[in-house]
Amino acid sequence: MRSSRFAIAVVLAIVAAGCSSGSDDAASVETSTPAPTTVETDSNADGSSSAESGDGADDGADDAGDGAGDSGGDDAAEDPIPVRPVPTQVSDETSHWVGVNAMSASAIDITWSEVEGDDVVYQLFRFETEVFRSGSASKDDVELDTPHAEVIGALRLVDDDVEPGTFYTYILRVIADDEVLERRWTDVLAVDDTTPPTAIVGVEFEVTAEGVLMEWSPSSDDVEFGSYGVFRTDGEGDARYIGGGGDIGQTSFLDDTVFGDGAPADGIARYEIVAFDFHNNRSDPAVIEVTLN
């Protein structure tokens, strides 16, 4: 459930993960698009680039979090997006993704991975998530009509035209050198949230022939649960992410990398199990130590 949301929770903690994909043919659903604009930006001094949406984007970026950055799109055109032909050839590219860098009740900072090419256009389509939760449409095949924003030369967009308390789904369509890539999406709730999920309790483990199997009691969150993350420390090294789950009911994990080449040198695996909410607040970790020998 909510695979893209799980990915983003983990991204902000330690990793990035891919989002779901699908085709571009489908039933028509109206997007929540006020006034689409085309944004072209130049890279920032550190090699990154970003774009902003709306007149209040600077304020929205501050509200969305410290990572929102400055806009490279001060000269962004306010004209409607021109009709852009969508290629019929679908690329087999599968490594690109879209996710949420930061969010609040007044702004959502969307980020995505770079796609190589001589002519690359990033199109963002915004829907109210309830459209998909009700079953009236599918993210795989909902019709992508007019983009909420079209971005060239940037990998981020701060959307400050949001309604507090509303769930949004952003679908990314990339057109690269006359090919349209498989769509990617992410869900986000426009709300201020600084309270982490409840800490994980009731952790049990078993050493099996396949690895270390861990189970725990479900966490909970006052707004929206995001994901579980399992981290392992070997010896004196740093804790590293080894997996988790994006469903609140997914309360078990098998570490199948703990034997063989991945075995800790001292024969002891130390685990931390953490709950993240939809706004990437992190619970206190549940810590266990497993002797393998």
3-state helix, strand, coil in the chain (%, to 5): 10, 35, 55
The reported pLDDT for the residue numbered 238 is: 85
- Please name which of 176, 169, 159 lies closest in space to residue 51, comparing C-alpha atoms: 159
Q: How confident is the model at residue 85 (pLDDT cuts 50, 70, 90)?
A: low
- Please name which of 2, 12, 245 lies closest in space to residue 129, comparing C-alpha atoms: 2
User: In this predicted model, what pLDDT tens digit does every residue of 135-176 receive, in sequence order?
Assistant: 889 998 999 999 999 999 999 999 999 999 899 999 999 999
The CATH superfamily holding the domain 3-189 is Immunoglobulins (2.60.40.10)
Contact 27, 142 (CB under 8 A): yes
Q: Sketch the domain layout of the chain as residue ranges.
A: 3-189, 204-291
What are the tokens at 126? 């915004």
User: What mean pLDDT, rounded, does the chain reach?
Assistant: 75
Q: How many CB atoms lie within 10 A of CB 237?
A: 11
Residue 30 has pLDDT above 60, yes or no: no
Kindly report the CATH number that applies to the domain delimited by 204-291: 2.60.40.10
Contact 231, 276 (CB under 8 A): no
Segment holding 213, helix H or strand E: strand 212-215
| H helices, E strands: number in the chain | 3, 17
Contact 230, 208 (CB under 8 A): no
Residue 218 has pLDDT above 90, yes or no: yes
Phi, psi values for residue 66, rounded to 5°: -65, -25
Contact 97, 135 (CB under 8 A): no
User: In this predicted model, what pLDDT tens digit does every residue of 171-195 receive, in sequence order?
Assistant: 999 999 989 998 999 988 888 888 9
3-189 shares its CATH topology with 204-291:
yes
What are the tokens at 149? 């924003």
The reported pLDDT for the residue numbered 225 is: 82
